[in-house]
């Protein structure tokens, strides 16, 4: 049966279309620097926001109208969601999806039943994947919703919870292998603290590292070669999340000898909550060889929580695609829409419309970014700006052929230091010019 009867396969209609159920800019086959848009962007649908989110907020119950809610039995509903999900993926034309264990199958009355429930649904997903081109970008487990995780999961003060969390991630790795997940994500749910006053941060971080090492060992043991990813977030639900931002994660990974095991899954809204721009986090990860995947969404500039909005800011999508293109694409990662429709966008068709907005926004970003790169519009500015390191004293510095004494001798001889303008205003207007002139038809 169909859950989105009144929706047809979404088509590309071009920049002038007024149909909210058509792509205006995302044309999957269109080539960008030798890849199709589909291959370059590797869009993924987040199972949680699209199929289990009810659009409740702290001040109101859910508003979502979802056809599968006609089922009240949890397993019946879970099965209906799988049907709806594959119908959605194919009508939207998206190559990937992502999920937590509890998104796809309900918890049972104990661990055994919980894992059995998963097996039933994973069988069903596997069947659907066989008949479909849709693949699993990444999976993960939800170790934060159940009250047992109230004090954290692998950083809980309660060793039983550490064990329980391990059991669930073990299953997650097995499920990932079975469904061919390209990456596996660790978002630190409640790995952080409510208050320093009752927290042993040293022990908690050591335990987190122990957990990651055991996960890596087990993945190797079963031959699951997905890219491991940490998804940083600065706060919420805890007051301080240990994986605060990419730099916090990178410091942690290096301290515990895990920097070659993990890369980062960078979420736009998490970046901005940490006081960084989205492109900053992507750039910082990229130059450190740690850019793995992207949770494509956006925050609200005046709200202090994770709003997980569908991405529509074209500055953000352009600069994100710029980093991704500079990275040579995302390899085993993709652009996962960790984004939910607003509580006021509660109709089933809003799920399609919002994904289209996100995909079109990134498509615009990709086209503008590629044109910037083709023209070396920013690259030439930067190359020229740092040209003093290409020879003379600059070259001595970058090749390691100098020291403080030689540099002081050199400095004594400097008559006057001449600088060029940084030209920031003009560079921003170049970006604008590309933005408004690249896409009209």
Residues 298-317 interacting with a copy of itself (rule: CB under 8 A): 300-306, 309-310, 312-315
Axis crossing angle, helix 111-130 with helix 159-179, rounded to the nearest 10? 20
CB 335 within 8 A of CB 43: yes
CB atoms within 10 A of CB 195: 9
Query: Closest approach of Cβ 65 to a copy of itself, in Å?
Result: 9
Among candidate residues 101, 103, 245, 350, the one labeled active-site is 103
Distance of alpha carbon 436 from its chain centroid, rounded?
A: 27
Geometric angle at alpha carbon 151, from 100 and 343, rounded to 5°? 50
φ, ψ for residue 264 (rounded to 5)? -115, 145
Residues 21-50 contacting a copy of itself, CB under 8 A:
24-25
Please report how close the Cβ of residue 307 comes to a copy of itself at its closest, in angstroms: 9
Q: Does 410 bind a copy of itself (CB under 8 A)?
A: yes
Q: Which of residues 57-86 bind a copy of itself (CB under 8 A)?
A: 57-63
Which positions from 239 through 298 interact with a copy of itself, judged by CB under 8 A? 239-240, 244-245, 247-248, 250-251, 254-255, 272-277, 279-280, 283-284, 287-288
Rg (CA), the chain: 24
Is 179 a binding residue for a copy of itself by CB under 8 A? The answer is no
Does position 407 bind a copy of itself by CB under 8 A?
A: yes
- Tokens representing residue 344 in the block: 């006021």
Query: Which tokens hold the place of 393?
Result: 């004293």
Q: Is residue 295 marked as binding?
A: yes
Give yes or no for residue 429 binding a copy of itself (CB under 8 A). yes
Q: How far is the CB of 401 from Co ion (least distance, A)?
A: 34
247 binds, among Co ion, a copy of itself, none (CB under 5 to 8 A by kind): a copy of itself
* 334-277-298 Cα angle (round to 5): 55
Indicate whether 245 belongs to the interface with Co ion (CB under 5 A). no
Question: Cα 138 to the chain's mean position, in Å?
Answer: 10
Q: Which does 295 bind (CB under 5 to 8 A by kind): Co ion, a copy of itself, none?
A: Co ion
| Distance (Å, whole) CA 27 – CA 36 | 9
Residue 225 is among the residues annotated as catalytic for this protein: no
Does position 147 bind a copy of itself by CB under 8 A?
A: yes
User: Is 309 near Co ion (CB under 5 A)?
Assistant: no
Residue 235 as a binder of a copy of itself (CB under 8 A): the answer is yes
**HSE-up of residue 44 (Cα within 13 Å, Cβ side):** 26
295 lies in the site for Co ion, by CB under 5 A: yes
Is 100 one of the catalytic residues? Answer: yes
What are the angstrom distances between the C-alpha of 69 and each of 46, 54, 73, 86, 106? 18, 10, 10, 17, 14
Instruction: Give, in degrees to the nearest 5, the angle at Cα 267 between 215 and 197.
Output: 70
Rounded Cα–Cα distance for residues 7 and 88 (Å): 9
Toward a copy of itself, which CB reaches closer, 130 or 344? 344
Site track 337-376 with Co ion (rule: CB under 5 A), x = hit: -x--------------------------------------
Structure tokens at 265: 């899954």
Task: Out of 101, 103, 182, 306, name the contact with Co ion by CB under 5 A.
Answer: 306
Nearer to a copy of itself among residue 229 and residue 351 (C-beta) = 351
Q: Is 337 in the site for a copy of itself (CB under 8 A)?
A: no
Nearer to a copy of itself, 34 or 58 (CB): 58
CB proximity list for 65: less than 8 A, separation 6 or greater: 346, 347, 348
Nearer to Co ion, 27 or 269 (CB): 269
- Give me the catalytic one of 49, 57, 69, 100: 100
Q: Count Cβ atoms below 10 Å from residue 328 Cβ, excluding itself.
A: 10
Tell which residue, 132, 118, 107, has the closest CA to residue 173: 118
List residues with catalytic annotation.
100, 103
Contact residues toward Co ion (CB under 5 A) are 267, 269, 295, 306, 308, 338
* Residues flagged as binding site for Mg(2+): 231, 267, 270, 295, 306, 308, 338
């Amino acid at each position: 049966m169909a859950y989105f009867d009144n929706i047809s396969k979404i088509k590309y209609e071009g920049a002038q279309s007024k149909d909210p159920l058509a792509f205006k800019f995302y044309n999957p086959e269109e080539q960008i620097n030798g890849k199709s848009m589909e291959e370059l962007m590797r869009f993924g649908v987040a199972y949680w926001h699209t199929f289990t989110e009810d659009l409740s907020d702290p001040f109101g119950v859910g508003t979502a109208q979802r056809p599968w809610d006609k089922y009240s039995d949890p397993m019946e509903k879970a099965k209906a969601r799988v049907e709806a999900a594959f119908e959605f993926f194919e009508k939207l034309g998206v190559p990937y999806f992502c999920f937590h264990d509890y998104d796809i199958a309900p918890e049972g009355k104990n661990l055994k039943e919980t894992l059995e429930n998963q097996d039933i649904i994973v069988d069903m997903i596997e069947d659907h994947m066989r008949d479909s081109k849709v693949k699993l970008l990444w999976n993960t487990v939800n170790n934060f919703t159940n009250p047992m995780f109230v004090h954290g999961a692998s950083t809980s003060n309660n060793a039983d919870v550490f064990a329980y969390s391990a059991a669930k991630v073990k299953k997650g790795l097995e499920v990932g292998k079975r469904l061919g997940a390209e990456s596996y994500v660790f978002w630190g749910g409640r790995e952080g603290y409510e208050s320093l006053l009752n927290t042993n941060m040293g022990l908690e971080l050591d335990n987190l590292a122990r957990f990651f090492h055991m996960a890596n060992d087990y993945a190797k043991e079963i031959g699951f070669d997905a890219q491991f990813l940490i998804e940083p977030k600065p706060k919420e639900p805890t007051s301080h999340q240990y994986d605060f931002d990419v730099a916090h994660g990178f410091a942690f990974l290096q301290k515990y000898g895990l920097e070659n095991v993990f890369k980062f899954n960078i979420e736009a809204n998490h970046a901005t909550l940490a006081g960084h721009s989205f492109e900053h986090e992507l750039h910082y990860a990229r130059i450190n060889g740690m850019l793995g995947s992207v949770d494509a969404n956006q925050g609200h500039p005046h709200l202090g929580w994770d709003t997980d909005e569908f991405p529509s800011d074209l500055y953000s999508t352009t600069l994100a695609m710029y980093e991704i293109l500079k990275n040579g694409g995302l390899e085993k990662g993709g652009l996962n829409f960790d984004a939910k429709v607003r509580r006021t966008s509660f109709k089933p068709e809003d799920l399609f419309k919002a994904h289209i907005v996100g995909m079109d926004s990134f498509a615009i970003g990709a086209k503008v970014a590629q044109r910037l790169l083709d023209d070396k519009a920013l690259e030439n500015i930067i190359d020229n700006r740092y040209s003093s390191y290409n020879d003379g004293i600059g070259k001595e510095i970058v090749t390691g052929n100098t020291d403080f004494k030689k540099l002081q001798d050199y400095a004594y001889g400097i008559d006057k230091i001449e600088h060029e303008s940084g030209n920031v205003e003009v560079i921003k207007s170049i970006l604008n010019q590309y933005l408004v002139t690249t896409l009209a038809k």
